[in-house]
Structure 1
Amino acid sequence: MQQNNSYAVATPLNVSIFLILSSILYLRLRPSEPPKLPQGPKPIVFQTFTPRTLLKYNGQDNNPVYLAVRGKVYDVTSGRNFYGPGGPYENFAGRDATRGLACQSFDEEMLTKDLDGPLDDCADLAHDQIDNLNGWIERFDEKYLVVGKLEPFRKTEFH
């Protein structure tokens, strides 16, 4: 007589344990939602500015801080503590800072008064002032992004 020593694997208890272990394994290994990256800043598009259109980029109302030097417009927002509201260079925010930087002056009279007039060509600067200005330009070129160019306001003629 031959004995049958086979055991039933598919018992209700074994099936229950298998289902529980499978569920736990699935819950631990299932794909999770992809991580959500924070939204980056809006892209900056190279623009042409006039003294009047540049003026709104003075850091007020959480706007970016731009300033112009020798026709290049720099985004100095990362230096908001210096160039933004309350900073030592705040007069230059949203303005052409060429003459003020060359003369090492933060005074209002260094800024262009007529926003619709010609740009200051700084032709009367002394050699040491030009050297000083070139040093500033070199620092700005290394540290800040150029976001545009500054041109004088041009009246369009309508016929």
Structure 2
Amino acid sequence: MEQSLQPRAQGGRRRMERVGDARGLVLGYVNALNAVDEAMRAAIPSLERLADVLGLVHSRQISRRGQVGTYSYAVHGTGCRFVSDDGTEVDVDFAVDGSEIFDLWRLRWYGLSLPEPLDVTDQDLRTMSSQLCCCLVASSRSLTCGAARSENAIRLDLTGQTA
């Protein structure tokens, strides 16, 4: 009897570990995005919010690709990919109002780029992201739920303003 229950218990622990990994991945992404924001604003004093990078590129005040402190950046479409000196990638899109938007693909890519790569399932990411979406506060910034570009998108308001 004990042998038949043991695999279920192990499977349950594995499920909890995966969900815990997904939670850590989402929180790690948000923390990494905060670090990018701080570094960019320290290096470019005219930058009021991270989304303003797009305007600076479009007005040719900065190049589409470059290096700022320990981060390289590459502006693409409505977003930007930042890579830290350890190879960690944070890719983010920006809404018209300047909110940061990320999706499951960006979370997974972030996890795989970590010095110790972390790969979690889409379902675990979806579950954890929706749970965190309504309650996460990171560095006095709010994570705001909202459909952005797809059903997998999560919209961040990191401006400190309430919507």
TM-score (ref. length: structure 1):
0.26
Higher relative contact order (CA 8 A, sep 6+): 1
TM-score (ref. length: structure 2):
0.26
Quick check: which one's helix share is greater? 2
Quick check: which one's strand share is greater? 2
